[in-house]
């Protein structure tokens, strides 16, 4: 019996990677970083499907972290454990560092790449990156695009790098990942919250969410409801918040997620807003 295995091609440039992915093919063609998310879909009982994998980690996209032009530059081929332990990431983008701390096991993080976490569409880094107003360098385009816009495309382009505008640290910076207690169970919700505080009120609020099977997104309607709130006005906004979250999560198949997100948001913001005596 012949067993099909994926063929792996290694393009030396981003242009070649994009051309190979777009060329007509008899089998599915996909970019691959560490392969840790792709192999989840293959299962363990059967051989991997016949397909062509384009390994983008050998020259097509860069690896590594750099700090210049007021931005943190993250190469898409950077392994997640290298990103998690990078001093510049921890100092300048603590929200992203929190997300990485909660992501998978060491063995997975050693293989997994930032590009693959983004390409998976519900990777844990995405909520943090969206709340940080990250931009992405994609395909061969020299102009970076907002990550939120890139994620709305039906077919994700090749992600070469991500840029996080600095300063990214903020007085309100929370990343929380909620799941069942079983050892390997998919996350129910990963939530990132970032805001400035002025005169006891939230401003510049950024909210983003992702979860297993829930593609990452900004919670723009919830942001509009909560921006400007202080600790006294927060409880009165709970009803509007749930209605806004229904819209932000309109395609979600989990009916409980809106209540969960609202509870987490109100709890975290209430704890971080100043309470006058």
Ligand X SMILES: Cc1cc2nc3c(=O)[nH]c(=O)nc-3n(C[C@H](O)[C@H](O)[C@H](O)COP(=O)(O)OP(=O)(O)OC[C@H]3O[C@@H](n4cnc5c(N)ncnc54)[C@H](O)[C@@H]3O)c2cc1C
Residues that bind ligand X (CB under 6 A): 30-38, 40, 56, 61, 76, 80, 103-104, 108, 111-113, 115-117, 119-120, 123-124, 156, 158-159
For ligand X, the closer of residues 190 and 226 by Cβ is 190
User: Starting at the edge strand that comes first in sequence, how are the strands of the sheet with 214-218 ordered?
Assistant: 172-179, 187-198, 201-211, 214-218
For ligand X, the closer of residues 40 and 180 by Cβ is 40
CB of 256 to ligand X, least distance (A): 20
Instruction: Name all contacts of 193-196 with Cβ < 8 Å and 24+ positions apart.
Output: 193/131, 193/265, 193/268, 193/269, 194/95, 194/131, 194/132, 194/170, 195/170, 195/171, 195/227, 195/269, 196/170, 196/171, 196/172
Strand segments, DSSP code E, in the chain are 7-9, 29-32, 52-55, 65-68, 71-75, 135-138, 145-146, 159-165, 172-179, 187-198, 201-211, 214-218
Q: How crowded is residue 100: how many other Cβ atoms within 10 Å of its Cβ?
A: 25
CB of 40 to ligand X, least distance (A): 5
For ligand X, the closer of residues 124 and 248 by Cβ is 124
CB of 128 to ligand X, least distance (A): 11
Three-state DSSP class for residue 240: helix
The Cα 91–Cα 97 span in angstroms is 9
CB of 114 to ligand X, least distance (A): 7
CB of 226 to ligand X, least distance (A): 26
What are the residues facing 175 on neighbouring strands?
Answer: 192
For ligand X, the closer of residues 116 and 144 by Cβ is 116
CB of 228 to ligand X, least distance (A): 32
* Structure letter (DSSP) for residue 113: B
For ligand X, the closer of residues 72 and 150 by Cβ is 150
Tokens of residue 95, six digits = 């929200």
For ligand X, the closer of residues 86 and 225 by Cβ is 86
CB of 11 to ligand X, least distance (A): 12
Cis before 92? omega within 30 = no
For ligand X, the closer of residues 32 and 168 by Cβ is 32
């Amino acid at each position: 019996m012949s067993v099909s295995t994926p063929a792996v091609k290694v393009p030396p440039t981003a242009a070649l990677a994009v051309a190979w992915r777009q060329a007509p093919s008899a089998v599915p063609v996909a970019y691959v970083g560490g392969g840790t998310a792709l192999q989840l879909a293959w299962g363990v009982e059967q051989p991997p499907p016949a397909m062509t994998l384009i390994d983008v980690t050998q020259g097509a996209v860069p690896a590594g972290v750099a700090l210049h032009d007021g931005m943190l530059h993250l190469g898409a081929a950077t392994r997640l454990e290298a990103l998690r332990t990078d001093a510049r990431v921890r100092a300048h983008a603590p929200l992203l560092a929190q997300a990485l701390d909660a992501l998978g096991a060491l063995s997975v993080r050693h293989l997994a790449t930032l590009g693959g976490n983004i390409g998976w569409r519900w990777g844990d880094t995405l909520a943090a990156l969206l709340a940080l107003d990250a931009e992405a360098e994609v395909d061969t385009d020299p102009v970076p695009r907002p990550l939120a816009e890139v994620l709305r495309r039906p077919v994700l382009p090749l992600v070469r790098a991500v840029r996080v505008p600095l300063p990214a640290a903020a007085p309100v910076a929370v990343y929380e990942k909620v799941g069942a207690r079983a050892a390997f169970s998919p996350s129910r919700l990963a939530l990132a919250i970032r805001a400035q505080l002025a005169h006891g009120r939230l401003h510049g609020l950024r909210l983003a969410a992702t979860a297993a099977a829930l593609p990452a997104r900004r919670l723009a309607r919830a942001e509009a409801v909560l921006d400007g709130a202080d600790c006294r006005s927060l409880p009165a906004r709970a009803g509007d918040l749930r209605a806004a979250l229904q819209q932000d999560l309109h395609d979600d198949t989990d009916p409980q997620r809106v209540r969960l997100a609202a509870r987490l948001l109100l709890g975290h913001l209430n704890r971080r807003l100043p309470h006058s005596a």
